[in-house]
Amino acid sequence: MNLARFARARFAHLPTPLEPAPRLSAELGVDLWIKRDDCTGLAGGGNKTRKLEFLLGEALEQGADTLITQGAIQSNHVRQTAAAAASFGMACEIILENRTGNQAVDYTGSGNVLLDRLLGASLRMVPMDTDMNAEMETNADACRRRGGTPYIIPGGGSNAVGALGYVDCALELAAQANDQGLVIDRLVTATGSAGTQAGLVAGMAVSGADIPVLGIGVRAPKDKQETNVFNLAVETAALMGHRERVTRDMVFADCDYVGAGYGLIDQAVIDALTLTARTEGLLLDPVYTGKAMKGLIDLAKKGAFEGETVVFLHTGGAQGLFGYHGELEPALL
């Protein structure tokens, strides 16, 4: 496998650190390490930055001058895309879906949304359950009519090109583990639009690093999530010329921690946020990493990681905390 064959724009701060979490480990009774993909460096960082390196590579190759993407209102993907566009002098057109129904001004205007505006993206808000792909096509048509060259990035940057960023992360993690003499039994990540887990699975499979990846779902039920991850992992491996190396048994998603729905928090998420902040000085986010840590904490308590060394992929998102001021502040008093 040779990732250098693929067009790539280089702006991420890599490699991201792999750090022990001794105080959180002691709380959970698990040897826990954190892979700090919250430190990828693009306007606050997060997991979309690695995907965007490959997506921007393709966009620049195609001569694009406008990036078009979509996400939930507090999307971290949108923030990172807006930053990437700004740094390459491209226009950025965003469609934001109010997927949670939250109308609080913090949710609709602060956190990531404030940063999207600061970064110069043009934002268009649409109601819950809008056909987001159709909306992006509408923007792309208008852009072409004006003589522009649009490049559409799917939600979460989750197609095979974007997932190459997480193939690269799998290779990076395996190299760090070798350097540090660390035997990793399991990698745990939040899983949403599936590109992160799919890229990791494809990277582990194609490189032979063979570290099992557990996705903790934030939206879809298990069957749907595992199917999405598997299909994209196969497509990503195929892009690298190794379609046959990804098999269905490599894909695990635990979707028992979604709670009331995508972007909706509960006490166990708040407990995960506070425990991680107060043991490690580490900021998780309300939508993804807080929910994944809620799952990791519960699974650890049930003995699911007995005797294992576990790496938690910190996919970023702390900028979204400010969108949840109304829910979080009363819980923290």
Ligand X SMILES: *Cc1c(COP(=O)(O)O)cnc(C)c1O
Measured from the CB atom, the residue of 143 and 225 that comes closer to ligand X is: 225
Distance of closest approach, residue 189 Cβ to ligand X, in angstroms: 7
Of 25, 75, 110, 158, which residue is the catalytic one? 75
Q: How many CA atoms lie within 13 A of 264 on its CB side?
A: 12
212 CB-near residues (< 8 Å, 6+ apart):
185, 186, 187, 204, 250, 252
To the query of whether residue 75 is one of the catalytic residues in this protein, the response is: yes
- Contact characters 29-68, ligand X, x per CB under 6 A: -----------------xx---------------------
Applying CB under 6 A, the span of 2-10, 271-279, 281-289, 294-302 interacting with ligand X comes to 281-289
Distance of closest approach, residue 75 Cβ to ligand X, in angstroms: 7
Distance of closest approach, residue 23 Cβ to ligand X, in angstroms: 22
Measured from the CB atom, the residue of 56 and 143 that comes closer to ligand X is: 56
| Integer Cα distance of 110 and 95 in angstroms | 16
Distance of closest approach, residue 197 Cβ to ligand X, in angstroms: 6
Please report whether residue 195 would count as binding ligand X according to CB under 6 A: yes
Residue 57: name the closest of 179, 162, 140 by CA.
Answer: 162
Q: Which of 289, 294, 311, 321 binds ligand X (CB under 6 A)?
A: 289
Residue 311 near residue 317 (C-beta atoms within 8 A): no
Distance of closest approach, residue 61 Cβ to ligand X, in angstroms: 23
Applying CB under 6 A, the span of 22-30, 85-93, 110-118, 313-321 interacting with ligand X comes to 313-321
Query: What count of other Cβ atoms lies within 10 Å of the Cβ of residue 120?
Result: 12
| Integer Cα distance of 256 and 216 in angstroms | 8
Strand order in the sheet with 213-217: 18-20, 31-36, 309-314, 186-191, 213-217, 252-254
| Integer Cα distance of 313 and 190 in angstroms | 8
CA 145 distance to own-chain centroid:
33
Please report whether residue 193 would count as binding ligand X according to CB under 6 A: yes
Please report whether residue 81 would count as binding ligand X according to CB under 6 A: no
Please report whether residue 116 would count as binding ligand X according to CB under 6 A: no
- Contact characters 138-177, ligand X, x per CB under 6 A: ------------------x-x-------------------
Please report whether residue 288 would count as binding ligand X according to CB under 6 A: yes
Please report whether residue 323 would count as binding ligand X according to CB under 6 A: no
CA 311 distance to own-chain centroid:
16
Residue 166: name the closest of 37, 11, 51 by CA.
Answer: 51
Distance of closest approach, residue 256 Cβ to ligand X, in angstroms: 17
Q: Are strands 31-36 and 18-20 parallel, antiparallel or unpaired?
A: antiparallel
Applying CB under 6 A, what is the total number of residues that bind ligand X? 20
Please report whether residue 254 would count as binding ligand X according to CB under 6 A: no
| Integer Cα distance of 172 and 102 in angstroms | 38
List of residues contacting ligand X (CB under 6 A): 46-47, 76-77, 156, 158, 190-197, 285, 288-289, 315-317
Q: Which residues are catalytic?
A: 75
